[in-house]
Structure 1
Amino acid sequence: MPLERDASGRTFIHHPSGQRTHYILNDFTDPWKSRETILIQHGFGRHAAFWYHWIPILSRKYRVIRRDLRGHGYSSYPQNSDKYDYTLNTILGEMIDTLDQLGVERVHFLGESTGGILGEIFAAKHPESLLSLTVCSTPIYLPPVALRLFAFGRKDWPTACRELGSRGWAEELSRIPGTIPVTDPQYLPWYLEQIAVSDGEGLAQYAKFLSTLDARPWLGRIKAPTLILSPTQSAAVKVEDMKVLAEKIEGSKLVLIEGPGHEIYVTQAKKCQQAFLGFLENLDRDITKGEN
């Protein structure tokens, strides 16, 4: 399957599933040096562009791949005529296919919110593909109370995405206190505009997939070095749950990120970046010690 670049310069992977995945690759490392790769996977409703502020600090030392999930951003989603097996194995298979087509064997996986659920299962099922796992503001599954919240009075979460559209759904989310506590008055309009890049139907299909996604059976099988970045004031993730997660993943490191809101990768970006880079640097030192 060939790589593709459209007229706007966006880059895509074509999968055997018939779908295509939009990705952004940034690499400002010294070209004569070997470098490792970071794969960033965003949370629900967002897409690759939301991580723009992480790229300058990460891409100087690492090759960084940001990919849009199925039905998010500029990635496609199944149409009525498509024969698409919308399952965990398909979604994970497309992640593997992305890496294969880009010639990447192993990555440091960085998953935010529900993107981290995928990362946890990915780490358990495909340990050969991971150098490390980092999850940020990540629940291990979405309980019924969360699914009801995301429905915003509709029949269910997918229905809310279809009826409200992507922007309308995000507007409802933004009204929940502390969800998007960014003080810059120009941030929310930009946020909503970016959410609107995705189609409501694409988000609805992925919401249905997420509604049954559960990392709990897989946590004990994760062997990759793991960092857990936990918000202290999230409406969706409790510190107590993150402590339980740290106990389930042997040898994992839990870092509490003080500050309001769920999307700490934005509101507390510097703290998260420092913790993440420190974690990766410690891995490098451990590897170097082992070689000596």
Structure 2
Amino acid sequence: MTVDAVPGGVDLAEGHLAYHTMGEQGPPVVLLHGGGMDRGLLSWRHLGPDLARGHRVFLPDMPKHGDSWPWAARADQAGQVGVLGRLLDHWGLDSATLVGLSMGSAVAAGFALEYPERVDRLVMIDSGGIQDRVPAHGLAYVLVKAPLSRLTALALTPGLVHRGLRDRTFKGPVAGLDDLAAAAYAELRAKRERHAYSDWQRHEIGPRSMRTDLRPLLGRIDCPALVVHGAQDDLVPVRFAREAAERMPNARLVVVEGAGHWSPVERPAEVGAAVRAFLEEPSHA
């Protein structure tokens, strides 16, 4: 990273929340990572420093991710939306632009629905929370539950994590794949509960459908919005992103060709260019 990431944290009643900040001036932007083997400085290793040249960037480790341990509450959709509001209060931000990835997008959009006055702009990247079922939904529901979630975490090796990223998550060559896989495996090994999946995944994937499907509500989000999605995302097919963008009155869609479900890492130049251009537009656009 060419921009220093300054560590910080706050202790709440439920536990500790860790975060990093970048940039010293400009409008505030909060980057919300995905679930499972992810944390703030992993998914946003490219976009964070890029945006910090003209913005104050905040990169939290959401509860039970990264260094945000211990945490004595469920970090599902409702839990994380509540945490996000308290983080904005801690940072002294009346409002901010929210940029989310996967789980983080569902949290950002949910927050925009509950607290529209606190969201200046919304960016949803490879978004979760916009589909009724995930692929192979019944199997996914079984896998995210204990004890299989714990057994999966114990069974995964560095080699399996590397191959999973190379063969399933990414759809083409990725610079620094060895480093990415090592960081993802380290995040898995650090999980205190030893689950392979986040609370969001384990609680939002219901037995027959997703418990959080924000599509019927997206028409209420009227702030400027950008939906960025990998064209070859197998976890959240791009048709759901198209529908989400169509439902929001001030949204547009950017499809990243050749990218899967982790496009800010797989195609950082394209994603970064799209987000920068969106944030630089006049607020009335």
Q: Compute the TM-score of the two structures, normalised by the length of structure 2.
A: 0.82
Find the aligned partners of 1:188 and 1:149 in 2 and give their Cα distance: 29
**Counterpart position of 2:270:** 271
Give the number of equivalent residue pairs. 265
**Counterpart position of 2:201:** 207
Deviations 1:21-42 (A, max 9, x none): 111111144xxxxx21110001
Q: Which of 167, 178, 184 does residue 194 from structure 1 map onto?
A: 184
User: Structure 1 residues 103 and 167, CA, compared in 2 at 3 Å: closer, same or farther?
Assistant: farther
In the alignment, is the contact (CA less than 8 A) between 1:147 and 1:157 conserved in 2?
no
Runs of 4+ off more than 6 Å: none
Tell which has more relative contact order, 1 or 2 (C-alpha 8 A, sep 6+): 2
TM-aligned CA deviation for residue 75 of structure 1: 1.0
Find the aligned partners of 2:123 and 2:155 in 1 and give their Cα distance: 28
User: Structure 1 residues 86 and 255, CA, compared in 2 at 3 Å: closer, same or farther?
Assistant: closer
TM-aligned CA deviation for residue 173 of structure 1: 8.0
In the alignment, is the contact (CA less than 8 A) between 2:19 and 2:58 conserved in 1?
yes
The amino acid that maps onto 2:253 is L
Find the aligned partners of 1:246 and 1:57 in 2 and give their Cα distance: 25
Gaps of 5+ in 1: 1-8, 30-34, 288-292
In the alignment, is the contact (CA less than 8 A) between 2:256 and 2:270 conserved in 1?
yes
**Counterpart position of 1:241:** 240
Find the aligned partners of 1:192 and 1:123 in 2 and give their Cα distance: 34
Find the aligned partners of 1:77 and 1:85 in 2 and give their Cα distance: 12
**Counterpart position of 1:52:** 45
Deviations 1:112-171 (A, max 9, x none): 1121111111111111110000001113146153544546xxx33133431122882972
Find the aligned partners of 1:224 and 1:186 in 2 and give their Cα distance: 35
**Counterpart position of 2:89:** 100
**Counterpart position of 1:218:** 217
Does 2:170 match 1:156?
no
Alignment of 1:1-292 (within 5 A): 10-16=7-13, 18-29=14-25, 35-45=26-36, 46-50=38-42, 51-78=44-71, 82=72, 84=73, 88-139=77-128, 140-141=130-131, 143-148=133-138, 150=140, 155-159=142-146, 160-165=148-153, 168=156, 171=161, 174=164, 177-181=167-171, 183=173, 186-188=176-178, 190-197=180-187, 198-199=190-191, 200-201=194-195, 203-211=197-205, 212-284=211-283, 286=284
TM-aligned CA deviation for residue 244 of structure 1: 1.2
Q: Percent identity?
A: 22
TM-aligned CA deviation for residue 237 of structure 1: 2.3
In the alignment, is the contact (CA less than 8 A) between 1:15 and 1:97 conserved in 2?
no
TM-aligned CA deviation for residue 85 of structure 1: 5.6
User: Structure 1 residues 185 and 23, CA, compared in 2 at 3 Å: closer, same or farther?
Assistant: closer
User: Structure 1 residues 149 and 191, CA, compared in 2 at 3 Å: closer, same or farther?
Assistant: farther
TM-aligned CA deviation for residue 86 of structure 1: 5.1
Find the aligned partners of 1:239 and 1:260 in 2 and give their Cα distance: 11
Gaps of 5+ in 2: 1-5, 206-210
Q: Which moved more, 1:201-210 or 1:48-57?
A: 201-210
Find the aligned partners of 1:70 and 1:264 in 2 and give their Cα distance: 23
Q: Compute the TM-score of the two structures, normalised by the length of structure 1.
A: 0.80
The amino acid that maps onto 1:255 is V
